[in-house]
């Protein structure tokens, strides 16, 4: 980490498919094979060598079936009531999608489901040729642990996902720094693991000697900030109390700012003390980072900037930006540069082209002399491959002094 | 554990709803509230005081929507294309269900999805009044850990779910006995955790002083016996090799016996050595149990009876029965009674009424003098509440001498 303002744009050693448009029904090309996100034994969706995806659904009596993937696309009815659609070449990465069967929005029964878009939604992994930093490899593996806990102040039953590095149980004298890593709106504490592949990314980085071993803590900063359960891959339990719960029960979805407000005291007063008491952490600010995607980035700014005594590392992965963030960050440049070891801002070039606010913040910070790292993920949008790459860039910067 | 053959039928301190039939559209009764298995903020399905469940789906353009829950039931189209159906009183416990929208079988977008019936399927928890042994309580909690590993013989990438008891990380000198716990057909290594609530059952039993702390190992004895991934709640990876994989890729679903054949060498040659090398186990037969539900019970019989040097405790929870099981178990009664510390057979009274084969086996064993425990779960069918109760009965019998 140098002491002056700089930005880094990594040139990935491959040509990215930047086309995100999906057209009318295409013919699938050569090399079509089942997506890795399919359920076992399921042949569709398939992805061909040009990254066109072909979807299928059996709906013999339906009048209309729509594929909802970056826009809505009428599927074509074939023999025996099998509906199909082949997309234009897709952007690499992980995309949510649904089917709309005569007006009912549902997940694809042939594909893995994920909690995203505030519901169970299908996901398709579009492979990025030559890019395997998030794949499972034959290296030592850490664990992802699901732990229930009870908040001391409100007696709320919650749960947290914790990544522990491969040597955690072998080296019982060691203590580890901690990264608090947040998901986006409509997702939950399982997203960084299931959609983001956090454990494989860190296992691989560690095996390559590129990062310090660290604990990663993933809690629910969304709907469960005021609900006792119902999500997180754990068996559901009943709602107890809390603002967001009450709001949700009335059928009003709290906005990103309400979630952030609700999550800050949980994180500061409950989660961090519980983690430091339960795991072998190094519990000072120099060994504590927070990062998040989208709404989780908004929460990261809100929480870390209110608690710079608690965090030395800040990561915004396509973050939502608090109002006046540039003013906040530039009002005491010398103090900020001394206190914050790494401020990381990431965005995908595809999302940047339509919403340049993160790039603009980067340029403002650069101009003001606020030390930070800016990273653009080539050819990706506001989604998980961007954020996996953000983590891959961010993690090696942590705990290096 | 006494030395003579006996059976135990526990009288639960409540009146069970034994009616499993679902009739035509009913009126929901009093006290209707969202099921605990709903996604956060979702109001339907709801369950009333009489355990009638009301389901809803928005499908404005559909001609027919069917609820598939213990039979098929035509839902009723209301205003704005909202389809509803209220069941007769349901059997308590956890039930899989789907919607069929103009011929397309899909999960309920308002409910949690589970891997069951070989696909992502909805589940509804029908509460059992006064019965809370599987609920999250304010007791010390263990963790459920997801661990990737590579098989030594075939270099297959696999993953395993491991429950560690609450004191595992605090008491680093302690070693623990192990229960290998298998799911049923069409489910996977996440089922005992997500559908079965294994961690809460054991946390609660341990807090009540009724069991020895133990490690529970849950692997995939189904479709993933020959697939490298695609399931288990972990990010998917691509199929590599193996019999079941090849079969599945051809669109032929392997049967229960094929899965059992495929799983035995994985369990004996790969999983157990890896677990014993990775966790602080007591690695002798007297501290190793195996149990399983349905197909997992079939696997339990097959594997433990082939390896009585490896296991001292055997649990069949509504098990599939190998051919000639009674002959096998009764051919050396004295030897078997000496070797096997607990043989447990469980069934639900509702399933027993249509398929008494487990009860028949119990009676045969009793007659032959084979020491075993027989348990009937009152008012439940071939599903998860039966198996949660089986575990609740079985776990206290383990590792007591």
Angle between helices B384-394 and B198-207 (to 10 degrees): 30
Chain A residues in contact with B43 by the CB 8 A cut-off are 251
Average model confidence (pLDDT) for chain A? 87
Per-residue pLDDT band at B41 (split at 50, 70, 90): confident
The mean per-residue pLDDT over the stretch A183-195 comes to 96
Residues 6+ away with beta carbon under 8 Å from B212: B177, B398, B399, B400
Which two tokens mark B343?
């043989």
A256-290 CB burial, b ≥16 within 10 A, e <16: bebbbbbbbebbeebbbebbeebbbbbbebebbbb
Over the stretch B180-231, which tens digit does the pLDDT of each residue have? 999 999 999 999 999 999 999 999 999 999 999 999 999 999 876 653 333 3
Residue B1 pLDDT exceeds 50? no
> CB–CB of B145 and A145 under 8 A?
yes
Percent of chain B scored above 70 by pLDDT? 85
**Given this model, what pLDDT does residue B154 score?**
84
**Given this model, what pLDDT does residue A2 score?**
36
Chain A residues in contact with B238 by the CB 8 A cut-off are 36
Over the stretch B60-115, which tens digit does the pLDDT of each residue have? 999 999 999 989 999 999 989 999 999 999 999 999 999 999 999 999 999 999 99
Q: Label the pairing between strands B313-317 and B288-293.
A: parallel
Which two tokens mark B353?
């009424």
Q: Distance between the two ends of chain A, CA-based, in angstroms? A: 9
Over the stretch B329-356, which tens digit does the pLDDT of each residue have? 999 999 999 999 999 999 999 999 999 9
**Given this model, what pLDDT does residue A262 score?**
87
Per-residue pLDDT band at B178 (split at 50, 70, 90): very high
Chain A, nearest residue to B99 by Cα? A106
Among the partner residues B119, B148, B224, nearest to A109 by beta-carbon distance? B119
Over the stretch A122-172, which tens digit does the pLDDT of each residue have? 999 999 999 999 999 999 999 999 999 999 988 889 999 999 999 999 999
**Given this model, what pLDDT does residue A15 score?**
29
Over the stretch B286-324, which tens digit does the pLDDT of each residue have? 999 999 999 999 999 999 999 999 999 999 999 999 999
Per-residue pLDDT band at B10 (split at 50, 70, 90): very low
**Given this model, what pLDDT does residue B29 score?**
77
Chain B, nearest residue to A142 by Cα? B147
Which two tokens mark B184?
């049923």
Over the stretch A278-326, which tens digit does the pLDDT of each residue have? 999 999 999 999 999 999 999 999 999 999 999 999 999 999 999 999 9
Over the stretch B242-281, which tens digit does the pLDDT of each residue have? 333 333 333 445 678 888 888 999 999 999 999 999 999 9
B13-40 CB burial, b ≥16 within 10 A, e <16: eeebbeebebeeebebeeebebbbbbbb
B134-155 CB burial, b ≥16 within 10 A, e <16: bbbbeeebbbbbbbbbbbeebe
Percent of chain B scored above 90 by pLDDT? 79
Residue A6 pLDDT exceeds 70? no
Can you give the pTM of this predicted structure? 0.88
The mean per-residue pLDDT over the stretch A238-252 comes to 34
Chain B residues in contact with A229 by the CB 8 A cut-off are 36, 136
d(CA B323, CA B336): 18
Over the stretch A338-389, which tens digit does the pLDDT of each residue have? 999 999 999 999 999 999 999 999 999 999 999 999 999 999 999 999 999 9
A379 in helix, strand or coil?
coil
Residue B240 pLDDT exceeds 60? no
Percent of chain A scored above 90 by pLDDT? 79
**Given this model, what pLDDT does residue B258 score?**
84
The mean per-residue pLDDT over the stretch B45-59 comes to 97
The mean per-residue pLDDT over the stretch B363-384 comes to 97
Chain B, nearest residue to A156 by Cα? B138
d(CA A320, CA A259): 13
The mean per-residue pLDDT over the stretch B234-243 comes to 32
Chain B residues in contact with A200 by the CB 8 A cut-off are 148, 235
Give backbone dihedrals phi and psi of A361, rounded to 5 degrees, phi first: -60, -45
Nearest CA among B209, B201, B194 for reference residue B133? B201
């Amino acid at each position: 980490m140098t002491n002056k303002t700089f930005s880094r744009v990594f040139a990935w050693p491959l040509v990215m498919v930047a086309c995100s448009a999906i057209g009318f029904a295409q013919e699938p090309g050569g090399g079509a094979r089942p997506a890795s996100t399919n359920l076992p034994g399921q042949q569709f969706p398939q992805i061909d060598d040009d990254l066109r995806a072909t979807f299928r659904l059996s709906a013999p009596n339906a009048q209309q079936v729509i594929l909802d993937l970056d826009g809505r696309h009428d599927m074509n009815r074939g023999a025996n009531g099998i509906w199909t659609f082949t997309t234009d070449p897709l952007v690499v990465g992980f995309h949510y999608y649904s089917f709309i069967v005569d007006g009912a929005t549902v997940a694809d029964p042939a594909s893995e489901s994920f909690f995203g878009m505030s519901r169970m939604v299908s996901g398709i992994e579009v492979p990025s040729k030559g890019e395997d930093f998030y794949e499972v490899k034959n290296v030592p593996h850490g664990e992802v642990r699901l732990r229930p806990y009870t908040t001391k102040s409100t007696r709320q039953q919650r749960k947290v996902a914790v990544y522990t590095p491969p040597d955690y149980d072998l080296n019982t004298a060691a203590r580890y720094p901690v990264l608090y890593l947040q998901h986006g709106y409509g997702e939950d504490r399982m997203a960084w693991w299931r959609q983001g592949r956090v454990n494989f990314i860190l296992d691989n980085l560690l095996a390559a000697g590129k990062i310090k071993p660290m604990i990663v803590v993933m809690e629910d900063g969304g709907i469960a900030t005021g609900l006792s359960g119902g999500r997180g891959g754990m068996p559901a339990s009943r709602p107890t109390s809390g603002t967001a719960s009450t709001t949700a029960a009335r059928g009003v979805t709290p906005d990103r700012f309400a979630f952030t407000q609700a999550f800050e005291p949980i994180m500061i007063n409950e989660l961090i003390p519980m983690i430091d008491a339960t795991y072998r952490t190094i519990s000072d600010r120099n060994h504590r980072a927070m990062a998040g995607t989208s709404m989780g980035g908004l929460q990261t700014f809100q929480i870390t900037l209110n608690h710079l005594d608690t965090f030395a590392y800040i990561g915004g992965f396509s973050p939502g930006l608090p109002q006046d963030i540039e003013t906040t960050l530039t009002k005491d440049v010398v103090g900020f540069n001394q206190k914050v070891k790494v401020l990381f801002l990431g965005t995908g070039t595809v999302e940047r082209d339509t919403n340049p606010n993160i790039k603009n913040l980067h340029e403002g910070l650069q101009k003001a002399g606020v030390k930070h790292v800016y990273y653009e993920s080539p050819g990706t949008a506001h989604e998980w491959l961007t954020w996996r790459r953000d983590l891959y860039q961010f993690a090696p910067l942590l705990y290096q002094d």
